[in-house]
Amino acid sequence: MNDSEFKHKVLDPKSASFCAAKWYNATIWLGSGQTTSCHHPPAHAIDLEALRVNPRALHNTVQKKQDRRLMQRGDRPRGCEYCWKIEDMDRDAVSDRVYKSKIYPIEALNEAYQMDYHDDVNLRTLEIAFDRTCQFACSYCNPAFSSTWVRDIQRNGPYESLVSDGRGHFTHAHDTAQLYRFGETNPYVEAFFKWWETDLHKTLQELRITGGEPLMSGETWKLLDWFKQNKGKSTTRLAINSNLGPDVDVDRLLDSIDGLEVDIYTSMESVDQQAEYIRDGLDYTAWKANVIRLLESDRIRAVHFMATINALCLPGLPRLLDYLVELKQQYGRERVSFTLNILRFPSFQSPLVLPERLREDYRQDLAFWLAGNADQPYMHEHEINHMQRLIDYLDVVKTPHSDAFEMPKLHNDFRQFFSQYDRRRDKNFTATFPLLAEWYDSIQV
């Protein structure tokens, strides 16, 4: 069944807003004691009191139970706006609601749809972050997810004169993202390991560790040690998000996962200096070398490339896609895949801030790329759909600037942010993105 058929035949007959991720999937940030379903809805707090008696409260929060109720009735939880926006573009548009539900058996979907929304659910797929330790400070990230971003703010103060960033992503160190210091006991981490030991290692199909940079966190290595010492005790598939930066210990990783087959997810959306500009801390050559080392190992099931589509990556994106095709041809379609995730926040870094002329140029480049690759056997269906969805998104007719009055603010922030980013990070916007330079210089602040 293809994605569109799955939507119409399996999901929609339950309800027009049903998404199994609300039941079976969670992202949990143990550093801040927060959770969400997939990574799109805003995070919300986990009740510490509930957790003391029931570690399953890490996932089964009051908020999620209310959202499940809405979905059973066909109402749309507000936090899932990412999917509603895509579906509202076109009745047949395939949103993440489909991808995030399709991975579970139909019986599990039926069970979720019929169950009492008050009941706790056993997770099937989990993404977990132990803390925000990270050696990168990417432009679209912020101190809530990166200790290097925290240091930027602590050393240089808040980013100034940003008017569209109501959430203040770049103005403070986000201390609530890391409630417990290094060496202190974190009750959320404790609850996770308790849940893991008693239940999770038996029921969880996939565990994905994220960060920060998880391979910089001691808790990740503790969990990997558990797998090493308890060989065969759990069938949970392990996946690790890693920026594959130059100081990531790939040798130690490969040694720790002896006997396992692990999926690696790595973020990338451009190439060379442009990629290094966006993902501050990246060494593109070292990243490629790490990718190859992983693909050469039989302990790595696949490397998945996650592109966060922002205003700066579009010039380099087709070249990155060409590189991924080379990898697919060398290592096989099943061992190399990519997703294109359209950035929403910070909104001043969205591709929608680009002038229409540039957006149209990039749209055409991507449409040309897709026309040349869509029929090739190395492409996955979801990759073609993600490409088409991005091409539609960049179409100035299909996705106009809905809040045109906001645009001067977004342009102001784009220029304000990157001029400060340049000074703090010793970078040079106009030299790195010559095709954007004229427009960038013309922005009045």
Token code pair at residue 156 = 């240089």
Among 172, 170, 190, which residue's Cα sits nearest to residue 180?
A: 190
Nearer to ligand SF4, 127 or 213 (CB): 127
In whole angstroms, how close is the CB of 22 to ligand SF4 at the nearest point? 5
Token code pair at residue 292 = 């190859």
In whole angstroms, how close is the CB of 90 to ligand SF4 at the nearest point? 16
Residue by residue, DSSP assigns 178-235 as --S-TTS--HHHHHHHHHIIIIIHHH-SEEEEESS-GGG-HHHHHHHHHHHHTTTS--
Instruction: Specify which residues 237 forms β-bridges with.
Output: 206
Nearer to ligand SF4, 178 or 210 (CB): 210
Residue 175 backbone dihedrals phi, psi, to 5 degrees: -60, -25
In whole angstroms, how close is the CB of 21 to ligand SF4 at the nearest point? 4
Site of interaction with ligand SF4 (CB under 6 A): 19, 21-22, 37-38, 40-41, 80, 82-83, 96-97, 100
In whole angstroms, how close is the CB of 183 to ligand SF4 at the nearest point? 35
Q: Determine the residue with CB nearest ligand SF4.
A: 80
* Whole-angstrom distance, CA of residue 440 vs CA of residue 336: 35
Distances in whole angstroms, Cα of residue 228 to Cα of each of 87, 124, 255: 43, 22, 10
Nearer to ligand SF4, 83 or 354 (CB): 83
Q: What is the DSSP letter of 7?
A: I
Token code pair at residue 323 = 């590189």
User: What crossing angle do the helices spanning 356-373 and 381-394 adopt, rounded to 10°?
Assistant: 160
Nearer to ligand SF4, 100 or 359 (CB): 100
Nearer to ligand SF4, 255 or 381 (CB): 381
Nearer to ligand SF4, 76 or 409 (CB): 76
* Whole-angstrom distance, CA of residue 239 vs CA of residue 371: 32
Question: % helix / strand / coil in the chain, to the nearest 5?
Answer: 50, 10, 40
In whole angstroms, how close is the CB of 70 to ligand SF4 at the nearest point? 11
Nearer to ligand SF4, 18 or 331 (CB): 18
In whole angstroms, how close is the CB of 76 to ligand SF4 at the nearest point? 8
In whole angstroms, how close is the CB of 77 to ligand SF4 at the nearest point? 7
